[in-house]
Structures are given as structure tokens and as C-alpha cells.
Amino acid sequence: MSNPSDITHAERPRKAPAIEFRDVHLAFDDRVILDGISFAVQPGETKIVLGGSGTGKSTILKLALGLLRPDSGQVLIDGIDISLMKEREMLAIRRKIGMIFQDGALFDSLSVFENVGFRLSENNTPLAEIDDAVRRTLRFVDLEDAIDKMPNELSGGMRRRVGIARALIGSPKIILYDEPTAGLDPPTARTICELAMKLRDLEGVSSIFVTHRIDDARQMASEFVTIGEHGEIEIIHENGDFCLVNTRFIMLRRGKIIFSGTDEELWASSDPYIKTFLS
Ligand SMILES: Nc1ncnc2c1ncn2[C@@H]1O[C@H](COP(=O)(O)OP(=O)(O)OP(=O)(O)O)[C@@H](O)[C@H]1O
Ligand SMILES: [Mg+2]
């Protein structure tokens, strides 16, 4: 049986960007934070957002999730303009999106199982189904053994992985990462980036990945994940001749996008601000 939403789906161009900002302006009181921001995240692409503290990186993620509305301009998810959407319609859009918050944002009084399964339990999903999905998702982030632990029993890196697992439940095709490696040691940060690469390369997830760490940016832009001959996960370093890695960058400064392009273009930039930022 068809319903009106199926029809609009069929009529949409097949390859609309997963996320698109069109000339987005946003001010808090009289402080302009975003001053005409336009960019698109193509299906399967990861867009790394760089910029100093307070430049509006988290604000961009909140706009994509419909938690904030632009003063003017449009925000589109899978080709659908959400900027004027009613809160009730937004719920269906938000179901397509997983968000990894800057502070981890676990519920401290709930176990790992309850944290990860939270979204499903809210939708009255049967317990056996929740159990299955939570175990599968925890296996993906390599934390199945922690299922019965409480958040205060976990290390910083484990908490971050639980936050990722919670965002992954229900298999969203869009994931928003807000500084998922902040405060982690380099090997743990690497593991988090590998998870994001697996989602990009094996699951076709589209993402915005906000980070301060240039190491994250280098790794995400120069490595990709494939499945080897015997079903094992392999991480391949791009050899520099081709651009096989589906990752692009934007850099924010004073409300504007001052750079948009590939990692090669970013590292080769002669802009003094960008050079300082990357050094
Ligand atoms: N709800 C709000 N009300 C008023 N000002 C806000 C609000 N949310 C954010 N801001 C301000 O907007 C600016 C951008 O905030 P945002 O959190 O997007 O920055 P950010 O780039 O994520 O910074 P950081 O790297 O420190 O996380 C900051 O100056 C912040 O104080
Ligand atoms: Mg932020």
C-alpha cells in the first residue's frame, strides 16, 4: 500500500545530498554566529568541520538535527527542507540521524544496556528486539562485555564508544559527531576515528565530523576500510595518487566558511590563518 510519504520519496531526485545548508544565517541576540553558510554532504561522505572555539561548529550540528532553526536560509536533510518544519514532523527526520554529543551525554543512572537501547525502549520496541540490537551495536564498538556496567565504571574512551553505540542504534544513515575524540589519548582517539571510517566505508553513512585534532583529520582523510578476502576488516592507506577516501573539509572563521575542499588542498593552502591552524 502506498501513502503520501512514499510518493514524495519517489519523486525526489535519487541523489540529493544527505545534508545541505543553503545560505544559513544565525545570530544569538545580536551576535552573528553563522553569516551565510552553504555546504553539502553527499551520500556516503564525511565532512570534517574545523574551526576555533566558538566559531559555530556545534551550532551547525544542532541546526542539522533541527534543535535550532536558522534566522534565514535553509537546512535540508535528504533533500527535505527542515528549517520551517513542525516539531512533530521533525521526529521522523531525527530518527534518520545519530548524534554523538560533545560531552558524551550518557545517562549516569542507566546501565550501558539501558543507555544504548534508550531510543528503542522509548518507541516500545519488544525487549528481545532491543536486546538483540544493543548486543549487535556494542559488538560493533567492541564493548559487548560492558553491557551491564554503569557509566561511572567506564574509562573516557569506553564512555565515548557507548555514546557512539547509542547514536548507532536503529542504523541511522546520517551521523553527527561533535568532537568525539576530545580529551582522549592518541590510541583511543584512533579507535574512535576507525569506527567513524567503518561507518563511512562499510555502511555508507553520511556524516559531519567536528574535531579540533588535526591527527583525526589526517587519519580520516588518508585511510579507508575494506573487507579482506577472509572477511577481516582491513585499513588501507591511500597512496596519494587517487582520492579514494570519501572525506572533505570545511573550515569556519568569523561566521563564514573560509575553506572547502580536499585534504590535499587543505594541507597545500597558503592562507596564513589556515597554516597556523594546521601547525
Ligand atoms: N543557545 C545559545 N544561546 C546563546 N549563545 C549561544 C548558544 N549556543 C551557542 N552560543 C554561542 O555561539 C557561539 C558558537 O557556539 P558553538 O557551541 O557552536 O561553538 P563551537 O565552534 O562548537 O565551539 P567549541 O569548539 O568550543 O565547542 C559561542 O560563542 C557560544 O557561546
Ligand atoms: Mg562545540
The answer to whether 66 touches 95, Cβ cutoff 8 Å, is no
In the predicted model, what is the mean pLDDT of residues 95-103?
85
In this structure, the residue with its CA closest to atom 1 of ligand 1 is 28
What is the architecture of the domain spanning 15-96+174-278? Answer: 3-Layer(aba) Sandwich (3.40)
- Residue 260, pLDDT above cutoff 60: yes
Counting from 1 in the atom list of ligand 1, the atom nearest the Cα of 210 is 22
- Residue 143, pLDDT above cutoff 80: yes
How far apart are the CA of 255 and the centre of ligand 2, in A?
A: 14
Q: Which residue has the higher pLDDT, 170 or 27?
A: 27
In this structure, the residue with its CA closest to atom 13 of ligand 1 is 54
> What was the pLDDT predicted at 13?
52
Q: If you average pLDDT over every residue of the chain, what do you get?
A: 89
In the predicted model, what is the mean pLDDT of residues 223-233?
90
- Residue 190, pLDDT above cutoff 80: yes
Q: What are the structural domain ranges in the chain?
A: 15-96+174-278, 105-171
In this structure, the residue with its CA closest to atom 18 of ligand 1 is 56
Residue 1 — pLDDT band, cuts 50, 70, 90?
Answer: very low
Q: What is the 3-state secondary structure (H, E, C) of the chain?
A: CCCHHHHHHHHCCCCCCCEEEEEEEEEECCEEEEEEEEEEECCCCEEEEEECCCCCHHHHHHHHCCCCCCCEEEEEECCEECCCCCHHHHHHHHCCEEEECCCCCCCCCCCHHHHHCHHHHHCCCCHHHHHHHHHHHHHHCCCHHHCCCCHHHCCHHHHHHHHHHHHHCCCCCEEEEECCCCCCCHHHHHHHHHHHHHHHHHHCCEEEEECCCHHHHHHHHHEEEEECCCCCEEEEECCCCCCCCCEEEEEEECCEEEEEECHHHHHCCCCHHHHHHHC
Q: Report residues whose beta carbon is within 6 angstroms of any ligand 1 atom.
A: 28, 33, 51, 53-59, 102
**Which ligand is nearest the CA of 254, by number?**
1
- Residue 105, pLDDT above cutoff 80: no
**Lowest-confidence segment of 55-69, 215-229, 249-263 by average pLDDT:** 215-229
> Cα–Cα distance between 54 and 23 in angstroms, integer?
19
pTM of the model: 0.89
Candidate from 21, 24, 57 with most ligand 1 atoms within 8 A of CB, to mutate: 57
